[in-house]
Chains A and B, each alone.
Chain A
Amino acid sequence: MAVDDVSFDVEAGETLAIVGESGSGKSVTALSLMRLIPNPPGEIAAGSVMFEGRDLLKLSDAEMQAVRGDRIAMIFQEPMTSLNPSLTVGLQVGEPVRLHRGATWKAALEKAGEMLARVRIPDAKARAEAYPHQFSGGMRQRAMIAMALACQPKLIIADEPTTALDVTVQSQILSLLKELTRETGAALILITHDLGVVARYADRVSVMYAGRVVETGTAQDIYKRPQHPYTMGLMACVPRLDQVLGRRLVPIDGQPPDLTRMPPGCAFAPRCRFVTDRCNAERPTLEEVGNGHMKACFVDAHAESAVHADA
């Protein structure tokens, strides 16, 4: 079970970040929203995805096809593998407009030129004739964004969109994405492992661990008052540019569990500093701790760490 009982919501114009380490199920969650999990072996066993009043999981394949790339668009980590190397960039950016809006190729290509200009590709009209290999990594990701935004989707899912890019290019691309979603009022789901990126760009955050959401809340709350021991651990183990020098990092001991052999209780229990007997026996569910801030944990980690500090 790669993803188990994951719930979240995202409003128009809002950026929700899904944070987690490899194997936490963040990408599988995104692919499920788009119904892109290959079946077999994968299966969405239960749940619902409500989008603009409809349950996406109940749509026929043809209906889903009409949603994908039109109302919901996805941006992947590696633009080179998601772009077709044998077609010009313009053709690929224009394709959704032709497919979903019934535009002629001429009109679609025109729209592609316009979109490439909007993602600030210099000399966009001429560059639309180029092939993906003639683009740099950053330009390819810009082209992917142009393609995703071509039909003015209401929801954009970006799965590690800048992980393969250099840091100066990363900030260009994410600022652009943020600006364009703000302009069009689209919601953005940003999937990332980078806590810095989340702090800079997200309004709300869901932290995933071993296929479940363990904590969710506004970015302010999550960073200021993390409630789940895993979130607290993550915050303590990343070195920060503004941190006092000479302090030792506090790693989270151990490793994430094997998803095929999940512990019966809380998945984080084997690595948790605050573990109790109950954590090993029973699985905690998400519960509100105030102001829409939710955590899946039995322990009041803050009270516990105060006790530890006193002792």
Chain B
Amino acid sequence: MPMPSLRSTPMPDATPLLVVEDLKVHFPVMSGAVLQRQVASVKAVDGVSFTLNRGETLGLVGESGCGKSTTGLAILRMLDITGGRIVFDGEDITGHGRTQMQPIRKRMQMVYQDPFGSLNPRMKVVDLIAEPMIVHNLLPSAKARADRARELLALVGLRPDMADRYIHEFSGGQRQRIGVARALSMEPELLICDEPVSALDVSIQAQIVNLFQDLQQQLGLTYIFVAHDLAVVRHISDRIAVMYLGRIVEIADRETLYKRPQHPYTQALLAAVPIPDPEIEAMRPQIAVTGEVPSALRPPPGCRFHTRCPRVVDRCKTDEPALRSLGGGQMVSCHLV
């Protein structure tokens, strides 16, 4: 039995692993041929707050441009943060520079949507998995690193003898397994998965979803699972945050969110997802949401969803609703709830 981890299972700890407070990530829009000046900003993430407990999976869902991926990147400090606070394991990392981030980064890793785009095609798999260990001085000898890489391959369901192959020799699902093995080589506590199964066929998607669940059980991992597929997110997450134009409009445990969604956007989003059963589909009420997501460059005033909301009233067009607790961990930002 290969050891699943170099570190023993973390002690149960009541402090949340991650606290995000009023996070803002704005991208400047520059104009001018020579002397560039900022003319506007894209508010990709504009006041996002949530808490993540150890061993938990938080799903971040929303349509394109809602800021779910940007939120993930900002937590890893791979983007400049405009405002707000990120506290990891009790340590405020908002202002951390490169060297200060180095030990933290080991503990939170990213799994990307397209492993082919994120893994170097000229490196053998064993080196791809061992590379982060060199960067972070994890294991001193090359032999030990290679052995560990083989162990990790077995852990993600690949044969250790595949270690000497190149990435193009693998299928999409296998590549994603390699992406996961590489992320796990740092023995992270938090894994931020950005659309990790979106590029895969459904029969392979199920294999990878199961892998994530098994690894969480074995290693006590905490996940942020960013995806647009609501059925997948419901399946894997404990709690789910629904984002719209840079903000969380509703957050709740998965059962509550799917059984009693309160925000009109959450309701519309759930109604839009077809269920693979013609009989159920024939009976489901259709909630009509018109139009598309407005530009994040000029988000609508008041509630950002008011331009598409079927229940809009005058107040929604001027007052921005705050995220309020409804009890039981459910929070919603809507004037009508």
Contacts and interface: CB of A to CB of B under 8 A. Distances in A.
B210 A249 contact: yes
Interface string A227-257: 0000001110111111101001111110110
A197 B281 CA distance: 10
Contact of B202 (A138, A175, A224, A238): A238
Interface string A173-199: 001000000000000000001111111
A137 B292 contact: yes
Contacts of B276: 195-196, 198-199, 223, 235, 238, 240
Contacts of B308: 168
A139 B171 CA distance: 35
Contacts of A195: 202, 276
- Of the candidates A168, A196, A234, the one having the most CB atoms from chain B within 10 angstroms of its own CB is A168
Interface string A115-155: 00000000000000000000011110000000000000000
A171 B44 CA distance: 25
B296 to A, nearest CB: 13
A101 interface: no
Interface stretch (B111-119, B228-236, B328-336): B228-236
- Which size class do A's interface residues fall under? 35 or more
A200 interface: yes
B231 A168 contact: no
A307 interface: no
Contacts of B141: none
Contacts of B207: 251, 253
A104 B281 CA distance: 44
Given A138-B292, A168-B289, A241 B273 contact: yes
B64 A199 contact: no
B274 A166 contact: no
A245 B173 CA distance: 24
A65 interface: no
B209 interface: yes
B79 interface: no
Contacts of B278: 199-200, 202, 219-220, 223
Interface string A241-279: 111010011111101100000000000000000000000
A170 interface: yes
A14 interface: no
A224 B268 CA distance: 27
B307 interface: no
Interface in B268-296: 268-281, 286, 289-290, 292-293
- Of the candidates B231, B290, B308, the one having the most CB atoms from chain A within 10 angstroms of its own CB is B231
A22 interface: yes
A197 B276 CA distance: 7
Given A168-B268, A196-B275, A240-B276, A248 B202 contact: no
A167 B272 contact: yes
Contacts of A170: 272
B255 interface: yes
Contacts of A233: 203
A22 B201 contact: yes
Nearest to A23: B201
B272 to A, nearest CB: 4
Closest 8 CB pairs of A and B: A196-B274, A251-B206, A166-B63, A237-B206, A239-B235, A21-B201, A195-B276, A249-B206
